[in-house]
Amino acid sequence: MLETIDLDKDVSKAAFQSEFPPLQQRVFELQRELRDARIPLLVLLEGWAGAGKGEAVATLAERLDPRGFKVHALFPPTPDDQARPFLWRYWMRLPERGRLAFFHRSWYWHILDAPAEKAVSSDAVAAATREIVEFERMLVRDGLVLVKLWYHLSAKEQRRRLKKMRADPFERWRVGSEAKSQRKRHERYLAAAEAMLAETDTTEVPWTIVEATDRQFRLLKTFKTVVDAMQRAVDTGAPAAPARAPRASIAVAALKAQPTLLDRVDLRRRADERKYARDLPALQIRLRELQFLTHAAGIPTVVVYEGWDAAGKGGNIRRVTELLDPRGFTVVPVAKPEGDEAVHHYLWRFWRHMPRAGFLTIFDRSWYGRVLVERVEGFATDDEWRRAYQEIREFERSLTRFGTVVVKFWLHISPDEQLRRFEERQETPYKRYKITDEDWRNREKMEVYRPAVVDMLRETSTREAPWTIVEAEDKRWARLRTLRVLCERMEQALAERSGDGSVRTKAGKKKHNKKKGKRRGRDRR
């Protein structure tokens, strides 16, 4: 691919002076039009060190309103970045709707520089490449204008430029370790770049190769590519992929009558007071020990709580966190998106709360609002909530690939039990704040929400991040069940990390020794 690029392209000074100023003016005008249309723009500048990426960013920024854009110079990840999935730091820098952002280097560092330096395996590169393609597709389908520019130079031209920069006391600082490494390992970087461009040049998000030998040609092509992308977005209203026309639905009564996942849940499960009083503190102590063990092992944990109103999520979360070290966990209550949350991709507000390695985050409601509340209430279009199933699976796969334990609970109760709890809340003064007109309105839509819940459980329960349906008619049973599942998942992660499956907490060891003693007693008898 790159060997076919004509690097001798140039533009005369007269032609440049004639054609460049109108492009600069048009970029300024289109910035305002994108702002009014609430369309975000992100420009990635990748390519060889010394190819002119910095000058391109600076020249683009000259005529823009500085209140409407940000430039991010992204260098190798910091220790804080490395404590989270690799896409986290890029999610945190995505532009709001109506604003512009320029990434001087980007997520492609992970599949270009790292492989060239032999810092990661080929399997890791393949997995990261897949995540990047999925990530970019998700962004553009949500309305982001994404422009990817690769600035290409010959090895000879790069050596000449780097030598000139080193000789200039004002430019010397720009020749960092990246530039030196590229110069020494040019063939390896070239092979990695070829592979990267081939794997990530997609129909929805193509690469534009910028022949970077001639400065005037380089700037003209950069501006024209950005202007064309901005103009297309303004003309069409958004760059998202067109939604497929819905097909007519044929009602089949026999299929509708079949039992669903929720119909098969046994809501008769109970835990008596004596069992609850015995097992709850033991499980809480076990979980506290696992909190310290996963912190030491650098394993992050994400717990998602979804369920019917009044299903007991709040009380359940309190029992989970009661004995935990508060320095090591965060509970995130999720409500209607506001402020910054409302001007980003719907997953952005959840990425910002992702725990560092070794920490735990609990979401009281979550990203599943996209396929529940937003679907049922019409806050998301048909195309948006339907594609969200795939986006959520990919999002959770990014977390689990990093090593995050993802535990998802659906707390299930019957309509009759929900009504009983609603009435109890209304009649009890200190519980009355929990019941609102919104709760009663949602109850009337329970049968409308039910198929959405079934679809959610079926479409997003994966091997890496399965759903656990918790029988929550009895709160004591539900609390013990969630604690057991959470402990088991964290112990499983520790066992996989150790490689020998032998991880046990102190509480687990006592239980194991007790059983061992009983077996020995039977042997003696």
Instruction: State the Cα–Cα distance between residues 208 and 61, nearest whole angstrom.
Output: 20
Sign of the alpha-carbon dihedral angle for 347, 353, 355, 360: negative
Q: How confident is the model at residue 92 (pLDDT cuts 50, 70, 90)?
A: very high
Tokens describing residue 131? 């995540």
pLDDT tens column, 297-327: 999 999 999 999 999 999 999 999 999 999 9
> Which pLDDT score is estimated for 170?
78
In the 3-class helix/strand/coil scheme, how is 198-217 assigned residue by residue? HHHCCCCCCEEEEECCCHHH
3-state helix, strand and coil shares in percent for the chain, rounded to the nearest 5: 60, 10, 30
In the 3-class helix/strand/coil scheme, how is 110-125 assigned residue by residue? HHCHHHHCCCCCHHHH
Instruction: State the Cα–Cα distance between residues 151 and 146, nearest whole angstrom.
Output: 16
Q: How many CA atoms lie within 13 A of 269 on its CB side?
A: 18
Instruction: State the Cα–Cα distance between residues 208 and 311, nearest whole angstrom.
Output: 52
> Which pLDDT score is estimated for 498?
83
Tokens describing residue 20? 């460049």
What is the number of other CB atoms lying within 10 angstroms of the CB of residue 206? Answer: 11
Residue pair 269/477 in contact (Cβ under 8 Å)? The answer is: yes
Q: How far is CA 207 from CA 43, 225, 227, 231, in A?
A: 11, 10, 15, 18
Instruction: State the Cα–Cα distance between residues 116 and 131, nearest whole angstrom.
Output: 19
Q: What dotted CATH number matches 269-508?
A: 3.40.50.300
Q: How far is CA 76 from CA 22, 188, 420, in A?
A: 36, 19, 56
> Which pLDDT score is estimated for 270?
96
Instruction: State the Cα–Cα distance between residues 400 and 392, nearest whole angstrom.
Output: 12
Continuous segment of H or E residues that includes residue 361: strand 360-364
Angle at Cα 337 formed by Cα 332 and Cα 341, nearest 5°? 90
Q: Pairing mode, if any, of strands 41-47 and 100-104?
A: parallel
Rounded mean pLDDT, 204-233? 96
Instruction: State the Cα–Cα distance between residues 69 and 101, nearest whole angstrom.
Output: 5
For residue 376, pLDDT beyond 90: yes
Burial bucket for residue 385 (CB in 10 Å: 0-12, 13-18, 19+): buried
Tokens describing residue 135? 């990530």
pLDDT tens column, 176-215: 766 667 777 788 888 889 999 999 999 999 999 999 999 9
Report the amino acid identity of residue 234. V
Strand, coil or helix: 336 = coil
> Which pLDDT score is estimated for 189?
86
Q: How many CA atoms lie within 13 A of 464 on its CB side?
A: 16
Q: How many CA atoms lie within 13 A of 273 on its CB side?
A: 0
Residue pair 370/395 in contact (Cβ under 8 Å)? The answer is: no
Q: How confident is the model at residue 517 (pLDDT cuts 50, 70, 90)?
A: low
Q: What dotted CATH number matches 2-236?
A: 3.40.50.300
Q: How confident is the model at residue 506 (pLDDT cuts 50, 70, 90)?
A: low
Strand, coil or helix: 148 = strand
For residue 434, pLDDT beyond 70: yes
The residue whose two tokens read 């006592």 is 510
Where in the chain is CATH 3.40.50.300? 2-236, 269-508
Report the amino acid identity of residue 255. L
Closest CA to 49 of 175, 198, 141: 175
Rounded mean pLDDT, 57-65? 94
Residue pair 493/299 in contact (Cβ under 8 Å)? The answer is: yes
Q: What is the DSSP string of 160-203?
A: HHHHHHHHSTTTGGG--HHHHHHHHTHHHHHHHHHHHHHHH--S
> Which pLDDT score is estimated for 249?
54
The residue whose two tokens read 């529940």 is 372
